[in-house]
C-alpha cells in the first residue's frame, strides 16, 4: 500500500492572532464609549447633512467680485511664506549642524536639541497667538510663527541626516589638514545637501499652507480674509478663497517638484 499519507488534523495556516483580535475589540469598545461620552448621535449628524446641502448651494457659484481684497490677502500670504521659509531655512542650517551629536560636543548639542524640540511641540496657531500678543496683529506675527515652525521641522530632520553621514569622507578631508569650516563645507554638506533641499522644499510647501491659516488668529494673510468671510456668512466668497488657496498650494507643489529635480 503506497498510499499518500495525509495528516489528519493539519494546522490552520492562518492562525488567529488573539492579540490582534483583542486590539480590534478594544477599538470597537472605544468607539462606542467615545460616541457616548461626546454626545454624538445619528440625528445630530443627519440634521447637519441638510445644512451641508444648503451650505454647498450658497457656495456655488463662487463669487470673485471682490478679487482685489482676495489678491491683497494672497500676496501677503505669499510674502509671509517666502520670508519665513528663507529665514527659517537659513537658521535651521546652523541649528541643525549644532544639534548633530557627531559634529558637536554634547554641551552644545543638548541645549540646541531642546530648543528645536520646543519649537516643534506647539501647533503653529498657538505660537501665532503668542506672537500676535507680543508683536501685534499683522504679517510680522505670521512671519515669526512660521520661522519657529520651520526651525522645528527642518533643523530636526537636518540634524538627523547629519548624524547618519559616513565619517570616512570627514576623516579624509581632516587628514588633508582642513579646518573646521572646510570639513563642514567639503565633507558634510555634499552628503546631506540634497536631503536638506528636500526638507526645505517640503517646509516651503507647508509654510504656504500654514500662511493661509495663521490669519485666523490675526497674524496676517489670506486666513484673516477667509475667517471674516465665514463670520459674515459670505459663503460664495469663502468658496472663491478656498479655490484660490488650493490653486496656490498646487502651484507651490509644482514649483517645489522642479526645485527638487534640479538639486537631485
Q: How far apart are alpha carbons 186 and 178 in whole angstroms? A: 9
CB of 125 to other proteins, least distance (A): 4
Could you tell me the three cell numbers for 120?
Answer: 516643534
Query: Which is nearer to other proteins, 14 or 180 (by Cβ)?
Result: 14
CB of 82 to other proteins, least distance (A): 5
The site for other proteins (CB under 8 A) is made up of 14, 27, 30-31, 34-35, 37-40, 44-45, 47-48, 51-52, 55, 75-76, 78-80, 82-83, 86, 121-123, 125-126, 129-130, 133-136, 138-140, 143, 190, 209-210, 212-213, 216-217, 220, 223, 226-227, 230, 233, 235, 242, 245-246, 249-250, 259, 262-263
CB of 69 to other proteins, least distance (A): 15
CB of 150 to other proteins, least distance (A): 14
Instruction: Look at the block and give the residue holding cell 507651490.
Output: 252
Q: Quick one: 77 exposed, middle or buried, by C-beta within 10 A (0-12, 13-18, 19+)?
A: buried
CB of 226 to other proteins, least distance (A): 7
Query: Which is nearer to other proteins, 104 or 234 (by Cβ)?
Result: 234
Q: How far is CA 136 from the centre of its chain?
A: 25
Query: Which is nearer to other proteins, 174 or 260 (by Cβ)?
Result: 260
Amino acid at each position: 500500500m503506497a498510499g499518500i499519507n495525509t495528516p489528519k488534523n493539519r494546522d490552520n495556516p492562518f492562525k488567529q492572532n488573539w492579540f490582534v483580535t483583542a486590539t480590534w475589540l478594544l477599538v470597537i469598545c472605544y468607539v462606542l464609549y467615545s460616541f457616548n461620552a461626546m454626545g454624538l448621535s445619528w440625528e445630530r449628524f443627519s440634521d447637519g447633512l441638510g445644512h451641508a446641502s444648503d451650505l454647498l448651494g450658497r457656495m456655488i457659484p463662487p463669487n470673485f467680485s471682490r478679487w482685489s481684497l482676495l489678491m491683497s490677502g494672497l500676496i501677503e500670504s505669499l510674502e509671509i511664506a517666502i520670508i519665513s521659509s528663507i529665514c527659517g531655512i537659513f537658521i535651521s542650517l546652523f541649528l541643525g549642524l549644532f544639534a548633530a551629536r557627531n559634529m558637536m560636543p554634547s554641551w552644545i548639542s543638548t541645549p540646541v536639541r531642546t530648543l528645536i524640540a520646543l519649537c516643534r511641540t506647539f501647533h503653529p496657531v498657538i505660537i501665532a497667538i503668542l506672537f500676535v500678543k507680543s508683536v501685534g496683529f499683522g504679517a510680522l506675527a505670521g512671519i515669526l510663527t512660521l520661522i519657529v515652525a520651520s526651525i522645528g521641522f527642518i533643523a530636526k530632520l537636518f540634524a538627523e541626516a547629519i548624524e547618519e553621514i559616513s565619517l570616512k569622507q570627514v576623516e579624509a578631508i581632516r587628514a588633508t589638514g582642513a579646518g573646521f569650516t572646510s570639513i563642514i563645507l567639503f565633507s558634510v554638506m555634499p552628503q546631506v545637501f540634497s536631503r536638506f533641499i528636500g526638507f526645505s522644499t517640503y517646509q516651503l510647501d507647508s509654510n504656504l499652507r500654514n500662511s493661509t491659516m495663521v490669519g485666523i488668529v490675526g497674524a496676517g494673510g489670506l486666513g484673516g480674509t477667509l475667517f471674516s468671510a465665514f463670520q459674515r456668512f459670505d459663503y460664495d466668497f469663502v468658496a472663491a478663497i478656498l479655490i484660490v488657496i488650493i490653486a496656490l498650494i498646487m502651484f507651490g507643489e509644482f514649483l517645489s517638484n522642479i526645485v527638487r529635480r534640479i538639486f537631485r
